Amino acid sequence: MQSVAEALDRLAGLAASPTVATLADAFRAAGFELALVGGPVRDAFLGRATNDLDFTTDATPDEILAVVKPVAEAHWDIGRAFGTIGAIVHGHTVEITTYRADAYDGTSRKPEVVFGTSLEDDLVRRDFTVNALALRLPQRTLVDPSGGVEDLIARVLRTPAAPEVSFGDDPLRMMRAARFASQLGFEVEPDTLAAMAALAPEIDRISAERVRDELSKLLCTGAASRGIRLLVDSGIAARVLPEVPALRLEIDEHHHHKDVYEHSLTVLDQAVDYEVSRGVLVSPDLVVRLAALLHDIGKPATRKLEPGGAVSFHHHDMVGAKLAKKRLRALRFDNDTIKAVSRLIELHLRFFGYTDGAWSDSAVRRYVRDAGDQLERLHILTRADVTTRNRRKADRLGFAYDDLEERIARLAEEEELAAVRPELDGQQIMEILGVRPGPVVGEAYRHLLEVRLDEGPIGPDAARERLLAWWAARGDA
């Protein structure tokens, strides 16, 4: 946290930058107000880098466009219906929004867009006091009608208006509270937290797409489990992601197993750590984080109390993959994300047979083949899934996975494992067998692929002999 003086110095420097100064001069010359608002002002106090420049003004969208066009390298009005105009000024992307006074009507899944006339009124209608800060331009005057600076110092999330009013205006703000708690490491103020629990059913008014986007932002923070815990404790997760609170299984006094809910949050934390430390994926990786959070959601439906106090969850990987696919579709995630997450959940137990006995090279090839382009994510999820407090067991599993990755790397170097294919393609198969395109070509290709996985590269001549032998055994030669 910067001191107020340091923050004001940073804001002064930002105001003097070519992008901000150009816009400030242009709006003043046109007779309109302009203020830098929200995240950039907040982050100046937190000492965080400023990535996005958001402005607010009393100009209408048409008037914003008229002011911006002469000074921008590019501009767009995709958010025009909501009062927002985007532009690139001196190489920086900016968004400029007309003062707002939005509210839900109590039944609609989208807010009614109402433009305001006052900066102060615009600020008190925003989500949290720490985001309800503005720097008037070109005067460089800090505007803080709700005590946002004090809340930044106290590291507290509080709504500018009564939380019931703020969340009633836009229920998605309850999910934003969880996201900002994760992103900034702030505590949610008690009255605000109580309102989240009381108004949790109101989240049903929000479209699946907006819920998806906010959940994705939360999961891409550095401490995602913190926000997930807030969603669960407030009852919001039960309405938008019910499979997660369902992981809090009741523990039978005669049957004991680890806390699946706490385990899942730990896996999420560890997956984030591996994602960052391994440095292979572009971080944050939403697929990894979704898979980590949801990898055990099949357990409640598959739990079986066994004799002697044991508990089993047979096939929870397959059940969980189906449940994840269904939930992610309901949240309108794209098909690639749904496919990747469900595949990782389906495969997340595969490695644990590795420690029971040495895998053959064939088994290693199949592991890579089945993971496909999700292999690095599967490495992360599998390693993160080890949460045992038994140091000896954790080390054994860690060393075993080190060994598996070394074997994968060695085989890949020896035989280009990442592109495992038979030595003969479909066209060659048809020519050798003298057949036309049809199901038999696919059968032959799959047979040669199994040979390739079992034995590694055998060369085109040997592959031709194997193909003819297979063909003869079918009685089709």
pTM: 0.82
By C-alpha distance, which of 178, 133, 182 is closest to 160?
Answer: 133
Residues 3 and 43 in one domain: yes
DSSP 267-293: HHHHHHHHHHHH--SPSS-HHHHHHHH
* CATH code: domain of residue 100: 3.30.460.10
Distance CA 89, CA 147 (A): 31
Domain shared by 16 and 112, yes or no:
yes
Assess whether 293 and 407 both reside in one domain. Answer: yes
Residue 88 lies in a domain: yes
Report if residue 352 sits inside a domain: yes
403 and 450 assigned to the same domain: no
257 within domain boundaries = no
326 and 432 assigned to the same domain = no
Rg (CA), the chain: 28
Measure the CA dihedral 302/306/309/310, to 10°: -60
Same domain, 412 and 435: no
CA distances from 116 to 22, 103, 171, 288, 386 (A): 24, 12, 20, 41, 53
Q: Cis before residue 284, ω within 30 degrees of 0?
A: yes
Please tell me whether residues 1 and 149 are part of one structural domain. Answer: yes
Is 331 found in the same domain as 431? no
What is the rounded distance in angstroms from the CA atom of residue 386 to the CA atom of residue 17? 49
> Per-residue pLDDT for the chain (477 aa), expressed as one digit of tens each?
677 788 888 889 989 999 999 999 999 999 999 999 999 999 999 988 877 899 999 999 999 999 999 999 999 988 888 889 999 999 999 999 999 875 555 555 555 667 888 999 999 999 999 999 999 999 999 999 999 999 999 999 999 999 999 999 899 999 999 999 999 999 999 999 999 999 999 999 999 999 999 999 999 999 999 999 999 999 999 999 999 999 997 565 444 556 899 999 999 999 999 999 999 999 899 999 999 999 999 998 888 876 766 777 888 999 999 999 999 999 999 999 999 999 999 999 988 877 666 788 888 888 988 999 999 999 999 999 999 888 888 888 888 889 899 988 888 776 655 556 788 888 899 999 888 888 888 888 888 888 888 888 888 899 999 899 888 888 765
- Its domain, for residue 23, covers 1-154
Indicate whether 390 belongs to any domain.
yes
Are the CB atoms for 79 and 86 separated by under 8 Å? yes
Quick one: 347 and 449 in the same domain? no
The number of distinct structural domains making up the chain is: 3
